[in-house]
């Protein structure tokens, strides 16, 4: 009895959501919305890259503050942070590539090494990389650093696939989709759960970007021609709905705990 309640306590203090189907859908959709949103502000709204970077960086700091400050998981704060990490992670890679002319081979390698280093330090200090026990301030910092790094790495690796392999978005959706499917299969076959989670997390960045391109790009380029505005609107509405559902589920489970 003692042990059960102890794990329950730990579990409810976990500040990140479980990796369910809706978790992955929201994650992929927020990747796309993050990218088109930042692009819209920089180009269509005419803010320019520097202003957009500054504003997004400040918003991320604010969202991260809200996420870290809370004592429990609040889905809206968590997903707001993910969307902003997605934007900033993409902007970091774009700045390195377009602004400083750093080769995508170099940035992909550097982010991969950096991510491995974060995991190594995380594991060394905490003895676990479990995403079901992100329950201390330090683990939260490890978690969010790793997330930021996966977005930067996912962007660089995805762009590298476009540049080096001439991989268009149609093939991109297929290939990254299959790779995510393989990660899912490995997870079903009880391969390392933490490892498969992070691999899928990295892959879902280029997958989300290709999916977004498939919907937004004109038909003459092989897209569905929905345009950036409709796609972002549809995705944003889906995100809000799914997060609202998580928020509701979460409120219900909290109510259950209170009754018990």
Contact (Cβ atoms closer than 8 angstroms) between residue 81 and residue 30: no
Among 57, 234, 236, 247, binds other proteins (CB under 8 A): 234
For tokens 């968590």, name the residue.
Answer: 78
- Taking CB under 8 A as the binding criterion, the range among 85-93, 129-137, 167-175, 184-192 that sits at the site for other proteins is 167-175
Give every CB contact of residue 139 below 8 A, 6+ residues apart in sequence.
122, 126, 133
Among 61, 106, 174, 245, binds other proteins (CB under 8 A): 245
Report the residue number, 38 or 64, with the smaller CB distance to other proteins.
38
- Taking CB under 8 A as the binding criterion, the range among 7-15, 66-74, 119-127, 247-255 that sits at the site for other proteins is 247-255
CB 6 → other proteins: shortest distance, Å?
A: 18
**Any alpha helices (H) in the chain, and if so which ranges?**
2-13, 21-39, 48-69, 75-94, 104-126, 137-165, 169-188, 193-216, 227-259
Q: Does 25 bind other proteins (CB under 8 A)?
A: yes
CB 235 → other proteins: shortest distance, Å?
A: 8
**Other CB atoms within 10 A of residue 124 CB:** 8
- The mark string for 118-157 relative to other proteins (x by CB under 8 A, - otherwise) is ----------------------------------------
Token pair for 232: 């972002």
Report the residue number, 5 or 253, with the smaller CB distance to other proteins.
253
Residue 224 has φ and ψ, to the nearest 5°, of: -90, -5
**Other CB atoms within 10 A of residue 11 CB:** 12
Orientation angle between helical segments 193-216 and 169-188, nearest 10 degrees? 160
Contact (Cβ atoms closer than 8 angstroms) between residue 86 and residue 28: no
Among 168, 179, 194, 236, binds other proteins (CB under 8 A): 168
Residues 38-57 that bind other proteins (CB under 8 A): 39, 43-44, 46
Q: Which one, of 244, 249, 238, lies nearest residue 28 by Cα?
A: 238
Distance CA 45, CA 107 (A): 29
Q: Does 177 bind other proteins (CB under 8 A)?
A: no
3-state secondary structure of 158: helix
For tokens 């709204």, name the residue.
Answer: 45
CB 50 → other proteins: shortest distance, Å?
A: 13
CB 200 → other proteins: shortest distance, Å?
A: 17
Among 41, 139, 149, 213, binds other proteins (CB under 8 A): 213
Q: Does 188 bind other proteins (CB under 8 A)?
A: no
CB 109 → other proteins: shortest distance, Å?
A: 19
Token pair for 90: 């993409």
Q: Which residues sit at the interface with other proteins, rule CB under 8 A?
A: 20-22, 25, 39, 43-44, 46, 162-163, 166-169, 213, 215-228, 230, 234, 238, 241-242, 245, 249, 252-253, 256
């Amino acid at each position: 009895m003692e042990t059960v309640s102890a794990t329950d306590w730990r579990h409810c203090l976990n500040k990140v959501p479980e990796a369910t189907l809706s978790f992955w859908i929201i994650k992929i959709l927020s990747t796309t919305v993050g990218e088109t949103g930042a692009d819209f502000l920089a180009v269509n709204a005419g803010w320019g890259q520097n202003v957009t970077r500054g504003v997004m960086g400040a918003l991320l700091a604010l969202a991260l503050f809200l996420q870290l400050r809370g004592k429990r998981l609040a889905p809206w704060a968590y997903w707001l942070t993910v969307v902003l990490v997605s934007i900033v992670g993409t902007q970091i890679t774009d700045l390195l590539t377009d602004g400083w002319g750093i080769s995508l081979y170099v940035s992909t390698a550097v982010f991969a090494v950096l991510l491995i280093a974060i995991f190594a330090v995380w594991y060394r200090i905490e003895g676990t990389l479990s995403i079901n026990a992100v329950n201390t301030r330090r683990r939260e910092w490890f978690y969010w650093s790793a997330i930021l790094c996966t977005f930067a790495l996912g962007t660089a690796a995805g762009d590298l696939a476009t540049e080096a392999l001439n991989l268009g978005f149609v093939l991109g959706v297929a290939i990254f989709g299959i790779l995510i499917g393989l990660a899912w299969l490995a997870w079903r076959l009880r391969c390392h759960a933490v490892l498969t989670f992070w691999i899928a997390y990295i892959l879902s960045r280029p997958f989300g970007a290709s999916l977004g391109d498939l919907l937004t790009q004109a038909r003459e380029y092989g897209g569905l021609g929905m345009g950036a505005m409709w796609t972002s609107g549809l995705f944003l509405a889906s995100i809000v709905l799914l997060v609202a559902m998580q928020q509701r589920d979460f409120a219900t489970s909290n109510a259950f705990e209170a009754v018990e």
